[in-house]
Structures are given as structure tokens and as C-alpha cells.
Amino acid sequence: MPERFSALAFAALTGSAGLAAGGALLPILPLACAVGGGFFLAERRGWLRPSEPSPWRDGAVTAAFSLLVVLFAAATGGPDSPLLCVLTLPILLATLCYGMRLGLWTSLGMAAACAALFLAHGTHPRVTLLGPALVVAFSYPVMAIFAGVLRGQMETRLQILDTEKQDITALLDMSQMMESAIDLDMTLNLILLNVQQHCECRVCAVYLKSADGRTLELRAASGQRGKVSLLPAFPVDEARREIRDLTDPPQAALILANIDPGAAAFACLPLASVEGLLGMLYIGCSEASGLTSETVQRLEQIAAYSAFPLQRVLLQQDFRTLAYSDPMTGLDNFRQFEETLADELARAERYDRPLSLILLDIDHFKTFNDTLGHPAGDALLGQLGIVLRNCLRNVDRPARYGGEEFVVICPETGEREAYLIAERIRRSIEETAFALLEKKSSDSGLAEDTTRVTVSVGCATFPGDARTTRELVKRADLALYDAKAAGRNTVRAYEESVSCAAV
């Protein structure tokens, strides 16, 4: 239906223009109908829209339209027609829709048709036949060339706009994916994935600021050519936007150039937010020509779009650390301990594996605080957390249970193994000289005082001693109470405590 209305409107407009130009109704009416019908057919078949080239079809369409235009000009006065300029329409149509080659052929055909039109109506009253013929012979091809150049510029601009649209769409998709990232690892992997999609690099890596803010540490890396040895860290003072070609030997002395010794060119781009530098994005290429200006521009856009999601994830990680870790010891707090114990007990029950819980308490800690002061007690708790981490396995999860009590979750650990771990903890704490916070004067001058403490330890095991988390904690606490009753600085297992109580 839209094609019919468009064809009728085009035919009515053409007929009105022809009648207004002085044409007779009898020739103008069929010509206007033919123009409208041709327009309708071209719209239905898609001949006026860019498509795969077809010389026969394109030539036939252009020839038919040219013939209608020539007849229309002839019917409205020939060389004296006020609508003589419509003879240029086929040239513009052929050039803009099908290219300069067909436009030039059409311009030559229209020049010949215009010359025939002049001959059919006799010599122009104001100029000779040679003058109009020369004007037509030169003007029509020039118009075709001009339209062809304009078409080429439009196509180039459209290609640039399409490329920019694809880049913006890709960046928006990347931003949406990164906004949905739930942890730091996923965010870093998305950054590396997007870099590899926009750059054929040897390796790409993300460096983030360390906890003390003095160095940038390698946190994630990926490469297309296997494992690449990268610099694990470098000072924050060396972090800056740097894009270099390393084929010049003197430049190899740069710290940034030594991140990947095998790279021929590299780019270091800052990952910065409103609060300052978060880290650096490193891209290393095997060839010096791998980092063009367009590629660097895309990489800078990726770095800019990645900064805010990265900052959000880092803040969430900090909040989680504050919510689930004990600030004095750096161990898990009671909330994290409860969640971890529930998860580990469910896993042990599902796979029918043992799980042990070790509970320890500092002997005479109240007396320690009353004698040396609470600052010294806080210093002792912090150092004890370090000792506890150093004497445990990687799979064990220590936590501060409350006050001077600590707890250790030992997955895949039976009664015998738990007792050995508890004894190792007790012995390590007993042999450690803990530094006090305060410095006191002595005969030899100022010296930092140290002290030694002991702990009582109780342990219980799933499924032999308990079947639930509550029972497991209660049985470990009973074993701890028995260790204190036995004189402190000792280890008791729940099964051993039950046996002693029975005797």
C-alpha cells in the first residue's frame, strides 16, 4: 500500500509539473502514468535501493527512466522547456545508486538524447546547435563524475560511522557485562577478553595497586601464544601512560618495557577513577606495527569503560573484607566462621568425608590484660593470628571465635589428624616470643619486651563426635573445657574427654 500511494503522488506531481511547464494534456498524461508505474515497479523490486550489481537490470532501469525524461522534456517544449534540467536526474540516479561507471554511460546517453532533442526541434533561437551540444557533452559527464565522488565520500563516511557504531556497541556490551560481574576475577577476565577482541596482542595483563599502595601487582593475564613470563610487580611511581616501539635497543632499559621481554611493542594504559589510580592495563604485541593509532584509541576506551566497574568490585571486596574478617587478627570473624562451617559440614555429609573442628583459648588472658594492659593484649591477639596461619595447611580455615578464643575448621581431617594439628598449634604458640606493644627502659637501654603464652586446645570430629554444626561446636568446647581442667597448655579430643569422664 505505501508503494501505491507513493507512485500515485509521484505521477500526480510529474503531471502537474508537465502541465505547468506548458505541455499538452494528451502527451503529459500517459507519460506521468508511465513515470508513476515505473516508480511503483522499481520500489516493489527494490531497484532504487543499494543491492548486488546487475548490469542488465541496472542498465534497463536507467535507460527506461532516461527515455521517459527525454520524452517528458520533448512534450514540454524541447530545448525551450522550463523543465530541461530534469535531464540530469537519470545521471544522478544512476551514479548515486549504481556507481560512477553506469553514471558515465548514462551521461553519454543523455548527452546524445539531448542532442537528438535539439535536432528534432531545430536550431535554438538564441544559440547555434554547436554551443548547446558542447555544453551538454561536457556538463553531463562532469556531473556524473561529481556525483560519483560525492557517492564515494558518502560511502566512506557511512563505513566510518558503521565502524564507530560497532565499537560503541561493543563497548556498551562490555560495560553491561562488567556491571553484571559479581567478583573481581570475573571483572578482570572480562577486561582481558575485550582487549583480545579489539587487539591482536601477544599478551595482555591487568596490574592493580597493592594493599600498601606502593606497588602494582599482577592480578590477571592472558595471551594467544601460550604462557608468557611477566614482571610480577613494579613501583607505582613508574605507572604512566606509555606506548612504545621496542625495536630501538636503548628503550629496553625502561621498567615498563621489561614487563614482557618478548614484546616488540607495548602499551601501558591507566585504570583510573575519580578517587585516583586503580591499576594499569598492559598490552604487549609481537610486532612493532601491532599498536596502530586506531587500536590504541579502542584500548583507551576499554580502559576508560573498565575503570568504574573495577572500582565498584574493589569497593565491594573491601566491604566484604570488613564484614567477614576480624580487623585485629586478619582472620575470619564469627559470621564468616558460621557460614564456612555450615558449607563444609554439608559437603562432608554429602561426600561422606570427615570434618574436624579445633577450638583454642589463651591461658590466663585476663591476668595478662590486667598486668600488661589492653594494648599489649591486642598486640598479642594480632601476632597469635599470624602464628596460627603459619602452622596450618592451606585448606584449614582459622577464625577468631570471640575474645581470646580461636577456632580452626579442618576439612577432610579425621580425629587422629586433628589431634596432631592441634598439638602443632599448641607447641608453636608455646615456643613463640610475642612482642609487647609498649617499650620499657632497662639497664641496657630501650628494648622491646617479649612474653610467652600458652593455649588450651579442644577438638571434635564429624561424624564420630557430632552430626550438626551446633553439636560439633559444643563438643569441641567441652574438650577445651577438659583441657583447661587438666592444667591448661594441653590438647584434648572430645572422644578422649568422654573416656576420661566415664572413668
Catalytically active residues are: 404
**Helix-helix angle 374-390:365-372, to 10 degrees:** 130
Place of cell 572422644: 495
Backbone torsions φ then ψ of 338, nearest 5 degrees = -60, -45
Could you tell me where the beta strands, DSSP code E, fall in 335-444? 355-362, 397-402, 405-411, 434-442
Q: What type of residue sits at position 465?
A: D
Cis bond upstream, residue 53 (ω within 30): no
- What gap in Å lies between CA 218 and CA 221, rounded to an integer? 8
Q: Identify the burial level of 474 via C-beta atoms within 10 angstroms of its C-beta, where 0-12 means exposed, 13-18 middle and 19 or more buried.
A: middle
In what side-by-side order are the strands of the sheet with 215-223? 233-235, 215-223, 203-209, 276-285, 265-273, 242-245
| Strands (DSSP E) found in 199-347 | 203-209, 215-223, 233-235, 242-245, 265-273, 276-285
CA gap 399, 116 in Å, rounded = 101
Q: Quickly list DSSP for 57-104.
A: HHHHHHHHHHHHHHHHHHHTTGGG-TTGGGGGHHHHHHHHHH-HHHHH
Angle at the Cα of 146 (from 143 to 148), degrees rounded to 5? 110
Quick one: CA dihedral 145, 150, 156, 159, positive or negative? negative
Cβ neighbors of 142 (< 8 A, separation 6 or more) are none
Q: Which of 384, 390, 329, 365 is nearest to 488 (CA)?
A: 365
Task: Please give the order of strands across the beta sheet that includes 491-493.
Answer: 397-402, 405-411, 355-362, 455-462, 491-493
